[in-house]
């Protein structure tokens, strides 16, 4: 019986060691798995703003400038711009197809002819 207790203790010790090594390997590999380049992240930001711009144009075209739907899409566009600004200190202007380094957007810029 003593022989089984020693053997079980060795197995338990080995399993703890294996678990610790596995956790270390997983934690070291995780950041590389989810890492993205700055260009990829800015591209996602650019796509979010372009999508929000498109949705706002659609809402204005289908429901009018002062509609509830247009107001909702203005809010979504503002959120997309704010997120870019918060994450990169720049925002994408879909009309001019360029990045702005100043927080100088106008929430009502689609209301002008």
| Range of the structural domain that residue 67 is part of | 38-111
In a domain, 31, yes or no: no
Note down pLDDT in tens along the chain; length 113 residues. Answer: 555 555 666 677 777 777 776 777 666 655 554 557 888 888 999 999 999 999 999 999 999 999 999 999 999 999 999 999 999 899 899 989 999 999 988 877 766 65
Nearest CA among 93, 92, 87, 90 for reference residue 101: 90
Per-residue model confidence (pLDDT) at position 30 = 54
In a domain, 14, yes or no: no
Per-residue model confidence (pLDDT) at position 106 = 85
For the record, the structure tokens of 94 come out as 């879909």
Contact 80, 52 (CB under 8 A): yes
Total domains present in the chain: 1
In a domain, 106, yes or no: yes
Per-residue model confidence (pLDDT) at position 3 = 56
């Amino acid at each position: 019986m003593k022989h089984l207790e020693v053997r079980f203790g060795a197995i338990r010790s080995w399993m703890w060691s294996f678990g610790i090594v596995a956790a270390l390997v997983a934690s070291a590999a995780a950041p590389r798995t989810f890492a993205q380049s700055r260009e990829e992240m800015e591209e996602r930001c650019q796509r979010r703003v372009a999508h929000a711009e498109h949705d706002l144009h659609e809402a204005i075209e289908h429901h009018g400038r002062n509609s509830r739907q247009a107001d909702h899409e203005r809010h979504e566009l503002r959120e997309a711009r704010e997120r870019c600004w918060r994450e990169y200190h720049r925002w994408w202007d879909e009309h001019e197809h360029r990045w702005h380094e100043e927080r100088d957007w106008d929430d009502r810029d689609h209301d002008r002819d």
